[in-house]
Amino acid sequence: MVRQPDGSYRGALCDEAITAAFDGAADFSRRALRVGAHTLYLYAIDGLTSGGDISELVVKPLFAGRLRRQHGRAVRPRALRHGV
C-alpha cells in the first residue's frame, strides 16, 4: 500500500502492507490464526476493541466452525477473501 497525499492508501490489501502501514504504532496488534489449511490475520487497535469481544465474536466462532450465513452471504468465504 502506498500512502496518498490525502492520507488514504492505495495498493494491495495484504498482511505485509497492513503491518507496514501500522509499523511503530504501539497500540496496533496482529495475530496469525490457523483455521484449517488457511492462515487468517487478526488486526486490532488497543482502545478501540475489546479483547473479550474479539474472542467471543471472531476467534471462538472461527475455531468452533460455527460461522453462519450473515446478511445473505457466507462469512467464512468472505473471511478467506479478506472481507471480514
Write down the pLDDT at residue 71: 44
Which amino acid type is present at position 26?
Answer: A
Confidence of residue 39 (pLDDT cuts 50, 70, 90): confident
Write down the pLDDT at residue 69: 43
More confidently predicted of 64 and 71: 64
To the nearest 10°, report the CA torsion of 52, 19, 64, 58: 40
> Does residue 12 carry a pLDDT above 70?
yes
pLDDT mean over 26-35 = 88
Write down the pLDDT at residue 49: 86
Structural contact between residues 39 and 33, judged by C-beta atoms closer than 8 angstroms? yes
More confidently predicted of 37 and 18: 18
